[in-house]
Structure 1
């Protein structure tokens, strides 16, 4: 309300509001007060000019044009608002269809909308007017459907922006249906710009309706609106110019009132105004992981929570299929903490999204095995599978600010999953939410449950996100860089909380991070990813001492510690990470590796286990490696290593 009131504090906003309210009030009271005067016929005073008795003159039947203009306000506004409602409703259907149908099925809707928007609105209105027929009803339908494509494309853009937010992904993980997500999470966050553009659309509809009536396609006698009065007055414009001037001014004032009011609200609220790929066969990388594939003996141990074999994620690209995740295999047991590390773009987060079934078309997820608690996640989406993901898998996203719906209170957001999956009523679900907020050490949870996300600090929002995952009985928590946006002290608190939950409830944890130090402290085992592949799998305790892959050792060496010589350049990994669309032949790390040989550049090493059960994909695993600093190149270091 405070932001809406700020609109009235500007001269333009106040003027536009007064004009808009005045038009609406006039539409209500004018027919009651002046209908008789507007319809009174005086054959002795036909086509008279402006006078004290008739301020705007009379028409060809001697009727007062000024009073007819006032009375016509109601019909003009009613028809414009009716057309606006049709445009908004049809636009919402068009705009939300891609979200409800999915990207692949929604492409036809998007393409049709873009084609319709390419045509001028007046041409569309004339086209529909011919289809629906002459008259007020036909004109309302014509203008409404002509305005729907523009409103629909705006809705598509706004919905697509919100659909990519973390709190929508969290709702999908919880198994909430798409229609419910749309109503509860998406539309409330796009309501303000839609209302603003609907207000401006009302002004445009009023002008369009006047235009159709002026052309003789809208309101027909004996009814009249401003456009019909223009149509009648233009025939006598040389005899009595005021006959067309009065309704013309009315159209101008009302149109400006609606448009300026919408523009003012937009400025006050800070919103904008706007006029599958086929199934993929396993790659050689997937076949060379060195891990038993699906048809071999299953790790049927009852403590396996997540079992992944030959996981691939692919997207269509301009030059062919792009595979940012290639042949990833691992399993996680109850109570185990598995860390996944690597530079940005290595495929860490995409692996987590694939496991959580959050990769949408045109992305494609393939795997020889992808099981959560023994349930095949590759199967078609079912209610049972959504219940499993909503209660047994907790997803903690990177940015706590975008992880929650800013328009809903925290307690209600936590309670939604319990009501949807556990069948709790509103009171019981809220009590569960308060209890979970207390479990993740949020002080005064009863009060905090009724606050909005912006009233929480970053650390508290992250705790609340963990609490949302604990609303069910999770067997697996996937934390995607949960401490990136937090300060060091709060980072440690969040990591301690995750560790405490893992110990107390025997929950498996997959922690994704680019910080090898954090992973080494929290996790039992570490997967190191590069260019979409796992290049090393080893115990976390051995990261500093027994890492064998050059990339893993370079990651560890790049982290300064208390013993780092501040007078020397910091160790770095030269070059840039590999572009998933242009992975070189052989080992993807070879262009940056000081140990790379011709064999590395020609043959991609398989991920093979050693005698201790560790896995590493490198032709030179464990060989001596010199550290790369800011002023030393891999070729120079290779000469040093070979010389030694």
Structure 2
């Protein structure tokens, strides 16, 4: 998380941030010095000059008592901002207490409080403010309390969400195991980690508080005479808007400018907090240097990705569910690896974990998860973000949902270059057109100005690959890149990926249900079942050397051109086990014709069958013999007594 000083520096480095800071600074200066400079003029009454129109002496005219409207607008800045800040403070403090109380109170009390907050959030803020204004009464104090308590439920919900995202971290669990009290955990570990987002949202909320105060005072239930704020001045000006519009325009513009200033400042700070500062992008190359992590780099320069004992878990009502359990493999430079298996086997989760795209409440652990020599599990987030952004490309299953439908293709591609290469808009757009040409998109310059819905499915997939090539990827993860495409376009996309691999020497991790496609396009095949790799072998040996019954079954169900049409298509009987119901032994045992008692008692390890072949099976099939023959061979080796016992 960025420090407060770092966030402020990032805000100052953007034009929008400078503008918002300048507006807020101007408001503060006006609030401090306006009563000293124009205070007397704002209170000076002149019965002979009532309701005067704008003039050189009175730029916004005068009111019913002959007082200068502009001076009153400037002087009332102090009261307006002060009341808004007081309401925001009440809302933030009350909301923080309500949001964090469930982590300190007993579980039943926390649930009751959370339910109350959820109900309050469902009501519009202005409606709550009016409700509390009736309770606390008309006047300045009542308006402050009304707006503050109306803002509290929103901050309570935000605090609950942020606290929940921190509560599952390992350092929180370690503190609790060490016997630290709940209150101390809250004050020492949770609040310091969520304080900055709360402050930024409070800045945005200040703009809303200003508008709310203007509304209450305009309705006559806020600030009362002789005091006045922008809302009350606006109400007075509207009474004679047809005779002197400037009297209403002045306080209205003040409300708009102040609300806009606080909202822009908060939004800019939020962008800086998320790491999207434009100037910070140019320094990512220095952050990606090996010395920045302080960790020993992988000796093998050819190795792009190392995954060792990868596990992905999700929390559920029944406990932790681990759909990916103990996956280990490596990817070298220029290598194409295919990952195949049925739906739910853990293929996509493995790829998402390697790309650091598993969101909370998902939990990723591994003995090692190294990309380009950097540990993705221990390196700082700013380093991994820059490394993955420049050296890893993702080609998703459905590019229509991966592109923003409201932005043009070219601008979305250019964003990658401006984010990680420090290019300006013109350079990044030229790079985007060049990458579209590289993936054979016709009329690339015209196409770059089109929206995603104007592209066909195949063209969108090409554009998705072009987005990955905007930087210089060392690994391309293609998750079902040919889904929903016709066979001609499928072949074009696969040939394009292969061409990219040859031209850039990038490694490819191709995820697919189609084992035939993987066999034709990849160097090595990883067969996954029930969250594990059950076989790892060269693609050239897939049809002749596959030893796991599941791999053989996947090959057998592929129809050939000479398949007898009078015979029903082959299928794998049964269904894969659910992620939360993996059996004790081999997960494929219930569907495997070779399964024996040992298969149901112990899960086989992934062991080497040869130098470049690994298999996890108690009864691997040797040679090109069909599975049926292997069943007969295994049965013939079972002792007679055991066979008779089974018969009895």
Question: What band does the TM-score fall into relative to the shorter chain?
Answer: 0.5 to 0.7
- Match in the other structure for 1:530: 529
Q: TM-score, normalised by structure 1?
A: 0.58
Distance 1:627 1:431 in 2: 59
- Match in the other structure for 1:177: none
- Match in the other structure for 2:316: 317
- Match in the other structure for 2:439: 440
Distance 1:589 1:335 in 2: 33
- Match in the other structure for 1:31: none
Q: 2:635 aligns with which of 630, 636, 642?
A: 642
Aligned to 2:610, what secondary structure does the other structure show? coil
Shift of 1:514: 0.7
1:333-387 per-residue CA deviation (whole Å, 9 max, x = no partner) reads: 1111000000011000000011001112221111111111111111143333222
Residues 303 and 334 in structure 1, CA contact (< 8 A), matched pair in contact too: yes
- Match in the other structure for 1:498: 497
Shift of 1:409: 1.3
The answer to whether 1:363 aligns with 2:378 is no
- Match in the other structure for 2:595: 596
Distance 2:627 2:348 in 1: 30
Shift of 1:620: 0.5
Distance 1:379 1:420 in 2: 23
1:482-539 per-residue CA deviation (whole Å, 9 max, x = no partner) reads: 1112121111111000000001111110000111011011100000001110000011
Tell me: CA distance 1:595–1:462, structure 2 relative to 1, closer, same or farther (3 Å). same
Distance 1:539 1:110 in 2: 55
Aligned to 1:498, what secondary structure does the other structure show? helix
The answer to whether 1:129 aligns with 2:128 is no
- Match in the other structure for 2:452: 453
Tell me: CA distance 1:129–1:370, structure 2 relative to 1, closer, same or farther (3 Å). same
Shift of 1:149: 4.8
Aligned length: 430
Aligned to 2:496, what secondary structure does the other structure show? helix
What stretches of structure 1 of length at least 5 have no aligned partner? 1-38, 40-78, 99-103, 158-181, 183-204, 229-296, 629-636
1:99-147 per-residue CA deviation (whole Å, 9 max, x = no partner) reads: xxxxx9xxxx999886324146799436743898632785487368637
Residues 338 and 510 in structure 2, CA contact (< 8 A), matched pair in contact too: yes
Match runs of 1:55-66 below 5 Å: none
Residues 139 and 212 in structure 1, CA contact (< 8 A), matched pair in contact too: no
Distance 2:375 2:226 in 1: 69
Distance 1:641 1:452 in 2: 60
Shift of 1:461: 1.0
- Match in the other structure for 2:541: 542
- Match in the other structure for 1:118: 119
Match runs of 1:278-293 below 5 Å: none
Aligned to 1:561, what secondary structure does the other structure show? coil
Match runs of 1:265-414 below 5 Å: 300-414=299-413
Shift of 1:612: 3.8
- Match in the other structure for 1:65: none
Distance 2:520 2:141 in 1: 71
Residues 117 and 157 in structure 2, CA contact (< 8 A), matched pair in contact too: no
Shift of 1:319: 2.2
Q: Cα RMSD between the aligned structures?
A: 4.6
Distance 1:140 1:149 in 2: 16
What stretches of structure 2 of length at least 5 have no aligned partner? 1-49, 51-79, 104-109, 162-196, 198-211, 233-295, 638-648
Distance 1:128 1:578 in 2: 55
Distance 1:493 1:112 in 2: 57
Between 532-541 and 364-373, report the one with greater CA deviation.
364-373
Distance 1:357 1:346 in 2: 19
Distance 1:384 1:522 in 2: 33
Distance 1:411 1:144 in 2: 45
Tell me: CA distance 1:148–1:556, structure 2 relative to 1, closer, same or farther (3 Å). farther
- Match in the other structure for 1:608: 607
Distance 1:428 1:464 in 2: 18
Aligned to 1:383, what secondary structure does the other structure show? helix
1:557-608 per-residue CA deviation (whole Å, 9 max, x = no partner) reads: 1111102111111111111111111110110110111110100000111100
- Match in the other structure for 1:485: 484
Aligned to 1:322, what secondary structure does the other structure show? strand
Residues 398 and 482 in structure 1, CA contact (< 8 A), matched pair in contact too: yes
Aligned to 1:308, what secondary structure does the other structure show? strand
Residues 531 and 583 in structure 1, CA contact (< 8 A), matched pair in contact too: yes
Residues 113 and 149 in structure 1, CA contact (< 8 A), matched pair in contact too: no
Distance 1:361 1:424 in 2: 32
The answer to whether 1:466 aligns with 2:459 is no
- Match in the other structure for 1:582: 581
Distance 2:419 2:222 in 1: 49
Distance 1:613 1:312 in 2: 24
Aligned to 1:576, what secondary structure does the other structure show? coil
Shift of 1:299: 7.6
Distance 1:464 1:298 in 2: 34
Distance 2:631 2:458 in 1: 45
Distance 1:113 1:502 in 2: 52
The answer to whether 1:519 aligns with 2:518 is yes
Distance 1:588 1:123 in 2: 56
Residues 607 and 615 in structure 1, CA contact (< 8 A), matched pair in contact too: yes
Residues 143 and 209 in structure 1, CA contact (< 8 A), matched pair in contact too: no
Distance 1:402 1:372 in 2: 27
- Match in the other structure for 2:284: none
- Match in the other structure for 1:558: 557
Residues 475 and 506 in structure 2, CA contact (< 8 A), matched pair in contact too: yes
- Match in the other structure for 1:36: none
Distance 1:381 1:413 in 2: 26
Aligned to 1:394, what secondary structure does the other structure show? strand
Distance 1:465 1:112 in 2: 46
- Match in the other structure for 1:146: 150
Distance 2:612 2:490 in 1: 32
Q: TM-score, normalised by structure 2?
A: 0.58
Tell me: CA distance 1:122–1:481, structure 2 relative to 1, closer, same or farther (3 Å). closer
Aligned to 1:570, what secondary structure does the other structure show? coil
